[in-house]
Structure 1
Amino acid sequence: MSRISLQEFQSQETKRDLHVFYAQLRSMEPLHYVEDLNFWLTTTYEGTLFVLKDPRFTKDRRKISAQQHEQDPLFASIFQNMLTVDPPDHSRLRRLVSKAFTPRMIEQLRPRIQQITDELLDAVQERGSMDVITEFAYPLPITVISEMLGIPVSDRASFRAWTQAIVNQREDTRTALEAFLHYIQSLLAAKRAHPGNDLVSRLVQVRENEDQLSETELVSMVFLLIVAGHETTVNLLGNGTLALLQHPDQMNLLRADPSLLPTAVEELLRYTAPVSLSDERWASEDIPLHGKVIRKGEQVMAALISANADTQQFSDPTELDITRQENQHLAFGKGIHYCLGAPLARLEGQIAFGTLLRRLPDLRLAIQPNQLTWNNNPMLHGLTSLPVVFQTSAQVYGTQDAPA
């Protein structure tokens, strides 16, 4: 039986080239056991699809032996949302927010997303340099999701510190989570007193209309919408920008032909793995997979980036090809837990990459690729910083002719 350690997942060497790491795993066998965290890991497209879609793999940890999966009450308070429960609770919770994330509703956000994108680039364009993560990839999605949820501008600065502590599993994770949950409780109280035309106000009103949304479910749902509504898109924009910089032929092709933006975003989702591992599932019974048996109560996760680079599913999967047509990637998952925010992430990606390449000529890395650092979360694949330089308007047009 092949066994992997948590340290292998978290090392900077692994993070720098996940394709090499997972190709090695796939070459050994399709199902591995991660000793440190006691879970099974599937690495093929076929196996990943099976795990994501088979209802025998439960998302609800409460269905597993309490003794085996005893949960800290603080952390338990964020595990009653649509990502962590099965039907019928999953269906009820997803229904409460799904209307806000339909392709039609998201398309109506296009002008505002474009405006935010332009304002962010306005702030750096004449400087000729920026950190893509802190000055572009983070503020764009956090502003969009905050406006959807009705979160005041003045409160958003705290989210980055809290989510980074939680995502990177630092020593202050518990303190950050306590502060985050306290903020959400205060936000809910404010929306009860003064409801607005936003998603949190609607969720509060739904609860007060006795639609079976408990206080814990409400807190957990808002937590999920804030974190999932921006953290993975930060990784898409950061990882995607780096991938384009490292493949100048693809970057130049996209700059010359913006009509390729939809397929380019799909390829960047497949290739860069904003979410490298799926979240946890547990076997509700003994389940055979790849010649082994995942016993009842055992945990299993799926390597999404590995599935998206499986040669049995994709031709030349380690090549970045923004014109790729056959691209049934699993970056947003599959089955009933397919990412609700997929239409929003796609639109943000198309606008962000299109505007970035149009407005910032000669975009290039400001440091060597081996100087870049990645977060240490085994599930989320994201850069901590991405310094770039580019030509200013004055350099492009000449000082006398630069547009006002």
Structure 2
Amino acid sequence: MISAEFHTDPHTVYRRLREHSPATRVELPDGSPVWLVTRYADVRALLADPRMSVDKANGDGSWRGFSLPPALDANLLNMDPPNHTRIRRLVSQAFTPRRVDGLRPTIQKTADDLLDRLDGQADLVRDYAGRLPVAVICDLLGVPDGDRDRFRSWTDVMLVPPRDDPAAGARAIGAIHAYLSGLIAAKRAEPADDLLSALIAAREDSDRLSEDELTSLAFLLLVAGYENTVHAIGTGLLTLLDNPGLPVDVEELLRYEPPAPVLLRRFPTEDIEVAGTVVPRGSTVLLVVGAANRDPDAFGDPDTVVPGRAGGHLTFGHGIHYCVGAPLARLELEIAIGTVLRRFPSLRLAVPSGDLRWRPSFRTRGLVALPVLLG
């Protein structure tokens, strides 16, 4: 199922699964046996089903996914209620709509500054999409200007370790962990007007976030807010270049090509029936929003970009684990994509669309590069 052709066009595979095997057991390249669920109604229902746990303790041990140090692993993506409810409530005190909207001028300036450096021909992944989100995360967390280059280089290595040094990713995670721990200590001593300081101060009665909870939250915001946004900017721009004249509709771009087409693994706490198939307790279930978002039973003409289409996509999830950073992602995409198209109205691809290379990942959907001619 997972081949070079799949990375270029996963939607043909998704369509076949939706139509013939909407809940099917497969083996991933790392050997993990998983169940893929692809129809919109099933994916949406399971996202809200309390029997679907994100806590690895409820798995049967067959999942071989990415592992993190305990202090970074204890985050919202791996927690069920009541721990998830408690931490989400504290986070919501700090990560407010007002704080997100307050980032608008900074995001706009960052986008303009990055585009000011471009001339003639550019790679919009390397020169723009890959730089803007990490700058936004650094602003959000309060990372000092002098540390940002190091921070970005650790993040890049963590997400795509060099082929000749597979241990580099683990070292980068260790460096980020140490840095975030030090940054939290500094913010505790001298609070500032940033999210990390607000998370430190957040409390409900006598309850506050622990040191590990703060560190893992900062790490989660970094990883989720960086990689997914890079991919969403790149694929969103490509979609509009392939469909000239369309207005920027962030929701439709996210439906059409989600940056994370496969959501975080879940583990049923009892045997459950999905699309007429019994999925055993403890199995690993992957909910494929890349397939669900193009289900014709949920969206008319799903393989066409239709600006202004009614919402309902599952790119940010659904239910209690709905992405806490969704408002920030929407704001970044609105500014990042809209600014490029306004600044360069004659923007066009420098190579045929079919020659573009996609990252060889089952869980993410992103371009290796987006070479363009600016004028």
TM-score normalized with structure 2 length: 0.90
Cα distance per residue 1:236-291 (max 9 Å; x no partner): 1100001111112xxx232xxxxxx4xx1111000111111000111111111112
Q: What letter matches 1:388 in structure 2?
A: V
Partner of 1:176: 172
Partner of 1:25: 17
Cα distance per residue 1:317-376 (max 9 Å; x no partner): 01112232x231111110011111111111111122221111102111122334322223
Q: Quick one: distance in 1 between partners of 2:24 and 2:267?
A: 15
Offset of 1:13 from its aligned partner?
Answer: 2.0
Any idea what SS the aligned residue of 1:253 has? Answer: coil
Cα distance per residue 1:279-328 (max 9 Å; x no partner): 0111111111112212111111100110000011111101112232x231
Partner of 2:7: 15
- Is structure 2 residue 225 aligned with structure 1 residue 229? yes
Q: Quick one: distance in 1 between partners of 2:77 and 2:121?
A: 38
Aligned mate of 1:253, from 233, 246, 249: 246
Partner of 2:183: 187
Cα distance per residue 1:125-172 (max 9 Å; x no partner): xx1222111221122222222111101123222344433444347623
| Residues 58 and 268, structure 2, Cα contact 8 Å, conserved in 1 | no
CA change 1:100–1:360 in 2 (3 A) is farther
Q: Quick one: distance in 2 between partners of 1:210 and 1:271?
A: 44
Partner of 1:368: 352
Aligned mate of 1:341, from 317, 325, 329: 325
CA change 1:130–1:99 in 2 (3 A) is farther
Any idea what SS the aligned residue of 1:39 has? Answer: strand
Aligned mate of 2:283, from 288, 298, 302: 298
Offset of 1:42 from its aligned partner?
Answer: 0.2
Q: Quick one: distance in 1 between partners of 2:190 and 2:353?
A: 49
CA change 1:343–1:206 in 2 (3 A) is closer
Partner of 1:37: 32
Partner of 2:79: 85
Partner of 2:238: 242
Any idea what SS the aligned residue of 1:96 has? Answer: helix
Partner of 1:358: 342
Aligned mate of 2:90, from 81, 93, 96: 96
Q: Quick one: distance in 2 between partners of 1:68 and 1:128?
A: 50
Aligned mate of 2:373, from 381, 389, 404: 389
Which stretch of the first structure deviates more once superposed, 223-232 or 74-83? 74-83
Aligned mate of 2:269, from 274, 280, 284: 284
| Residues 90 and 209, structure 2, Cα contact 8 Å, conserved in 1 | no
Q: Quick one: distance in 2 between partners of 1:104 and 1:189?
A: 25
TM-score normalized with structure 1 length: 0.84
Any idea what SS the aligned residue of 2:116 has? Answer: helix
CA change 1:212–1:13 in 2 (3 A) is same
Any idea what SS the aligned residue of 2:372 has? Answer: strand
| Residues 101 and 344, structure 1, Cα contact 8 Å, conserved in 2 | no
Any idea what SS the aligned residue of 2:365 has? Answer: coil
Structure 2: any 5+ residue segments left out of the alignment? none
Which stretch of the first structure deviates more once superposed, 31-40 or 295-304? 31-40
RMSD of aligned alpha carbons:
2.3
Any idea what SS the aligned residue of 1:77 has? Answer: helix
| Residues 99 and 105, structure 1, Cα contact 8 Å, conserved in 2 | no
Q: Quick one: distance in 1 between partners of 2:307 and 2:320?
A: 28
Aligned mate of 2:154, from 131, 154, 162: 162
| Residues 12 and 374, structure 1, Cα contact 8 Å, conserved in 2 | no
- Is structure 2 residue 92 aligned with structure 1 residue 107? no
Which stretch of the first structure deviates more once superposed, 136-145 or 231-240? 136-145
Q: Quick one: distance in 2 between partners of 1:247 and 1:85?
A: 40
Cα distance per residue 1:89-132 (max 9 Å; x no partner): 111211222244443432232222222221221221xx122211
Partner of 1:394: none
Q: What letter matches 1:136 in structure 2?
A: Y
Q: Quick one: distance in 1 between partners of 2:63 and 2:343?
A: 50
| Residues 265 and 350, structure 1, Cα contact 8 Å, conserved in 2 | yes
Q: What letter matches 1:276 in structure 2?
A: P
Offset of 1:177 from its aligned partner?
Answer: 1.6
CA change 1:73–1:22 in 2 (3 A) is closer
Q: What letter matches 1:343 in structure 2?
A: P
Q: Quick one: distance in 1 between partners of 2:64 and 2:111?
A: 44
Q: What letter matches 2:284 in structure 1?
A: Q
| Residues 32 and 63, structure 2, Cα contact 8 Å, conserved in 1 | no
Partner of 1:136: 128
Q: Quick one: distance in 2 between partners of 1:152 and 1:129?
A: 31
Q: Quick one: distance in 2 between partners of 1:130 and 1:12?
A: 25
Q: Quick one: distance in 1 between partners of 2:199 and 2:65?
A: 26
Q: Quick one: distance in 1 between partners of 2:137 and 2:67?
A: 27
Q: Quick one: distance in 2 between partners of 1:86 and 1:360?
A: 46
Larger radius of gyration: 1
Q: Quick one: distance in 2 between partners of 1:215 and 1:91?
A: 18
Q: What letter matches 1:285 in structure 2?
A: E
